[in-house]
Amino acid sequence: MQCYETLRLATPQPHLLLVTLNRPQASNALNTQMGLDLEALWTELIAEPGDARCVVLTGAGEKAFCAGGDLKERHGMSDAQWVAQHEIFERSYWRLLDCPVPVIAAINGHAFGGGLEIALACDFVYAAEDARFALPEVTLGIMPGAGGTQLLPRAVGERRAKEIILTGRPFSAAEAYQWGIVNRLCPRATLMADALATAGAICANAPISVRQAKKSIHHGLQMDLKNGLMFEIEAYNRMVGTEDRLEGVRAFNEKRKPAFRGR
């Protein structure tokens, strides 16, 4: 795994990759370099997950997970420069959606604009109880353009998404939990421990099984039920000939924990 200018990578336990958005002086706002770094990271995990079986994504510091696009960098950009930069952001979000490894967002502070859209593109979200959320783009003369108008309605429903996006008003972590954006509210002191514990449980499972199940859920929801069920069986059959399937059944009968090897 290569080094990135705006990301801090760590492996706090085997098979678990902790990724920290690392621009705390700018509330971890998305600048061009962070867009390039995120695109490269997710592309690397798509091409070769290696030992990574789960990713936890968080922000540096206690103020913000990600404040969205860096408007200081964007100030004075020409139309062409703005569009070119946004295309980098688009690719980074699409690569995140395509990442075969589960990604848990650990929202340690404010997640506004593109920061909330990153969280929505992750597989699920844990949040500190005092975190705040918003898609304020319409208050700035733009609109959500990194999945917000598509992923938010899928999480909260059309009517709630329209209220959130068209007003641009911030909302609390408790509301995000109530509406289905956040899976678990955590005391700030235990947020990372809680996210890492769940990631550890995922890492202990058969990695091919986890990746195939994620793929089946993600793509199956975009199909009608009959085709979704057929896609599920195709994903299921991928495991039948694996060593991990044999090891799982063997470990069950021997009453021990399986040692999955990802093959």
Residue 258 lies in a domain: no
Question: Which residues face 3 on adjacent strands?
Answer: none
Residue 117 lies in a domain: yes
User: What residues make up the domain containing 213?
Assistant: 207-253
Are 124 and 183 contained in the same domain?
yes
Query: What pLDDT was estimated at residue 31?
Result: 96
Cβ atoms 25, 33 nearer than 8 A: no
Are 44 and 84 contained in the same domain?
yes
CATH number at residue 213: 1.10.12.10
Residue 260 lies in a domain: no
Query: What pLDDT was estimated at residue 3?
Result: 87
What's the total number of domains in the chain?
2
Q: Got the DSSP string for 70-100?
A: -HHHHTT--HHHHHHHHHHHHHHHHHHHH-S
Query: What pLDDT was estimated at residue 82?
Result: 87
Are 184 and 219 contained in the same domain?
no
b/e burial code for range 72-100 (CB count within 10 A of at least 16 → b): ebbeeeeeeeeeebbebbebbbebbeebb
Are 231 and 150 contained in the same domain?
no
Q: Compute the distance between CA of residue 66 and CA of residue 37 in angstroms, rounded to an integer.
A: 15
Query: What pLDDT was estimated at residue 74?
Result: 86
Q: Are strands 103-107 and 184-186 parallel, antiparallel or unpaired?
A: unpaired
Q: Compute the distance between CA of residue 194 and CA of residue 104 in angstroms, rounded to an integer.
A: 11
Are 51 and 146 contained in the same domain?
yes
Are 94 and 187 contained in the same domain?
yes
Query: What pLDDT was estimated at residue 83?
Result: 93
CATH number at residue 27: 3.90.226.10
Are 109 and 148 contained in the same domain?
yes
Quick check: helix, strand or coil at residue 230? helix
Q: Got the DSSP string for 177-203?
A: HHHTS-SEEE-GGGHHHHHHHHHHHHH
Q: Which two tokens stand for residue 27?
A: 């509330």
Which has the closest alpha carbon to 147: 213, 88, 97?
97
- DSSP H or E segment with residue 152: helix 148-156
Are 26 and 156 contained in the same domain?
yes
Cβ atoms 152, 135 nearer than 8 A: yes
| pLDDT per residue as tens, the chain (263 positions) | 688 999 999 999 999 999 999 999 999 999 999 999 999 999 999 999 999 999 999 999 989 999 998 988 889 889 999 899 999 999 999 999 999 999 999 999 999 999 999 999 999 999 999 999 999 999 999 999 999 999 999 999 999 999 999 999 999 999 999 999 999 999 999 999 999 999 999 999 999 999 999 999 999 999 999 999 999 999 999 889 998 998 888 999 999 898 888 88
Are 50 and 129 contained in the same domain?
yes
Residue 126 lies in a domain: yes
Q: Which of 187, 203, 219 is the last residue of a domain?
A: 203
CB atoms within 10 A of CB 63: 13
Query: What pLDDT was estimated at residue 62?
Result: 87
DSSP-derived secondary structure letter, 30: B
Residue 84 lies in a domain: yes
Are 81 and 159 contained in the same domain?
yes
Which has the closest alpha carbon to 234: 249, 209, 214, 216?
216
Q: Compute the distance between CA of residue 173 and CA of residue 158 in angstroms, rounded to an integer.
A: 20
Query: What pLDDT was estimated at residue 2?
Result: 80
Give the pTM.
0.92
Residue 83 lies in a domain: yes
Residue 263 lies in a domain: no
Q: What is each CA distance from 213 to 56, 119, 261, in whole angstroms?
A: 18, 20, 17
Are 144 and 39 contained in the same domain?
yes
Are 243 and 197 contained in the same domain?
no
Residue 2 lies in a domain: no
